[in-house]
């Protein structure tokens, strides 16, 4: 066994941890970093998407270190309408996989960078009202050959209007259609993710539709159904137990096992219990 005590910095962690990095550069006023709500307004339970935007006014390229899935190194704080302050939980992943082309973004001089952030991944927006979101990319922005820009926080106001079932249905239908009509599995991932965070009974049928479209979104749709957790969601998961595509049946089984204790309908609970009971193999 080869054991090395000396510490090296990997390409990723060298930046992440920031120890011993080059001196920081004073914030350049002409470099515009901002967070804004993608849609002008959202109703309760709709996906809340905030855009992280960077305009590079420098004459050198900027390098952004975003981390896994281009979101790992963002940190948020949310003040809810009732005054509660929620903090996003820092990642405690022990295996951090970053696909090539992700994790870092280089912004050429004069160019803009935009990264949508689905805020529902960090916070549940449970009530209508006004929220205040403070966002920060925790890593420094590297100016090629000219130091770093320190992390900068920004607070924006988000207004979530009352639940609008008609609008929510349209949003869900549109996202489900985007998944089904996606030209490939890769293109199906983002709309499926947004749909999965519509924590509302309305989304159940659309999540089931997405799940059975076999676009490699089962790892997204099934947790979505689990989050909703109503009887219809459980029935959709029970149907998924017979699905032979990919991991669908396994993921549905795991989700139902986690949900079993909180099922209130005794008939449904018994159905789930039987479905999860070991069966003789062929």
Partner 1 sequence: MLPPPRNGSVLICLALLLAPFASSQQTPSRPLPAPTDQEQIVAYWTTETGWKSELQLRNNQIGRDLTVTPVLRTAYGAETSLSSVTIKPQEVKAIDLDAAIGTTAPQLVGTYGSLVLRYRSPGSRSLYASLMVRNIGHPFAFHIDATGETQDLQAGSREGIWWLPKDTTSDYLILTNQGKITLPLDLSLYDATGKESKQRALLGPHETTRYSIRKLILAARLSGSYGGIKVSAASHSGSLDTVHFLFDEAAAFSAILKMFDHDPNSKLEERDFAKTAVWTLRAPMLALSNPDPALAFPPGTSLRPQLFIRNTTGKPVDAALRFNWRADSSSGKATGPALRLNPNETRRIDVAALQNSGQLPKQANWTSVTLTTNGLPDEVMAVAASFDDTLRYGAQTPFSDQLSFQWEGGMWEYDAYHSSFITAGNGGTKPTQAAFTLFYNQGAEKYELEQTLQPDDQMWIDVGKLIREHVPDKNGKALPADLSSGSFEIRDLTDIGIGSLFEGKLIYDKTYGHVTYGCSLCCTYGSPWLAYNPLGIPFTGDSQNGVWAYENCSSHNLDVSSYFMNNWHTGSTAIATVNYMGTHHGVGVGSTTSNTHGYLVYGYTRLCPASLRSPSGSANVAAIPVNFIQNVVSLGAGISLYFHYVWESSTGPGRLSDLSNCQVREFVTLPPDRTHGGYYYWASPPYATGYTTSNPDTGATPGPATAGGLGDTLLHVPFSSRPYATDDVTANQVYQFSCTNYLSGQWIALLPTSGTLPIRRVVSQNPWQYTITKTGWSNSGTLP
**Where do contacts with partner 1 occur on this chain (CB under 8 A)?**
1-14, 17, 19-20, 68-69, 72, 92-103, 183-187, 189, 214-216, 219, 244-248, 254, 257-258, 280, 282
Write down the least CB distance from residue 143 to partner 1, Å.
Answer: 20
Whether residue 119 contacts residue 153, with contact meaning beta carbons closer than 8 Å, is answered with no
188/204 with CB nearer partner 1: 188
**CB neighbour list of residue 202: distance below 8 Å, 6 or more residues apart:** 45, 165, 168, 169, 172
Nearer of residues 165 and 246 to partner 1, judged by Cβ: 246
Give min distance, CB of 103 to partner 1, in A: 7
- Find, among 63, 61, 126, 124, the residue nearest to 88 by Cα: 124
- Decide if 138 contacts 88 (C-beta within 8 A): no
Shortest separation between residue 137's beta carbon and partner 1, angstroms: 17
Residue 48 buriedness (CB in 10 A; 0-12 / 13-18 / 19+): buried
Query: DSSP code of 24?
Result: B
Give whichever of 177 and 214 is closer to partner 1, judged by the CB atom. Answer: 214
- CB of residue 42 to partner 1, shortest distance in Å: 26
Q: Which residues pair with residue 106 across a beta bridge? A: 63
Q: Quick one: 28 or 247, whose CB is closer to partner 1?
A: 247
Gap between the Cα atoms of 75 and 89, Å rounded? 8
CB of 258 to partner 1, least distance (A): 6
Nearer to partner 1, 6 or 162 (CB): 6
């Amino acid at each position: 066994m080869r054991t090395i005590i000396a510490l090296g910095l990997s390409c990723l962690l060298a930046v992440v941890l920031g120890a011993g990095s080059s001196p920081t550069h004073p914030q350049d006023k002409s470099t515009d970093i901002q967070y804004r709500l993608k849609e002008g307004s959202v109703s309760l339970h709709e996906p809340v998407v905030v855009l992280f935007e960077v305009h590079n006014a420098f004459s050198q390229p900027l390098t952004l270190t975003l981390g896994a899935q281009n979101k790992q190194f963002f940190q948020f704080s949310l003040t809810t309408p009732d005054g509660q302050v929620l903090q996003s939980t820092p990642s405690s992943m022990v295996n951090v996989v970053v696909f090539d082309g992700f994790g870092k973004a280089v912004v050429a001089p004069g160019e803009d960078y935009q990264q949508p952030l689905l805020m529902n991944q960090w916070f549940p927006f449970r009530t209508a009202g006004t929220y205040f979101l403070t966002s920060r990319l925790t890593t420094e922005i590297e100016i090629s050959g000219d130091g770093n820009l320190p992390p900068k926080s920004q607070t924006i106001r988000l207004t979530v209007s009352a639940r609008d079932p008609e609008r929510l249905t349209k949003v869900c239908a549109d996202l489900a259609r985007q998944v089904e009509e996606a030209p490939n599995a890769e293109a199906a991932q983002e709309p499926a993710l947004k749909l999965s965070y519509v924590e509302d009974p309305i989304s159940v049928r659309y999540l089931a539709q997405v799940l059975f479209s076999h676009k490699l979104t089962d790892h997204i749709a099934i947790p979505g159904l689990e989050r909703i957790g109503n009887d219809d969601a459980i029935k959709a998961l029970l149907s998924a137990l017979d699905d032979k595509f990919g991991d669908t049946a396994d993921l549905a089984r795991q989700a139902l096992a986690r949900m079993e204790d909180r099922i209130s309908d005794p008939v449904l609970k018994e159905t789930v219990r039987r479905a999860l009971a070991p069966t003789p193999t062929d």
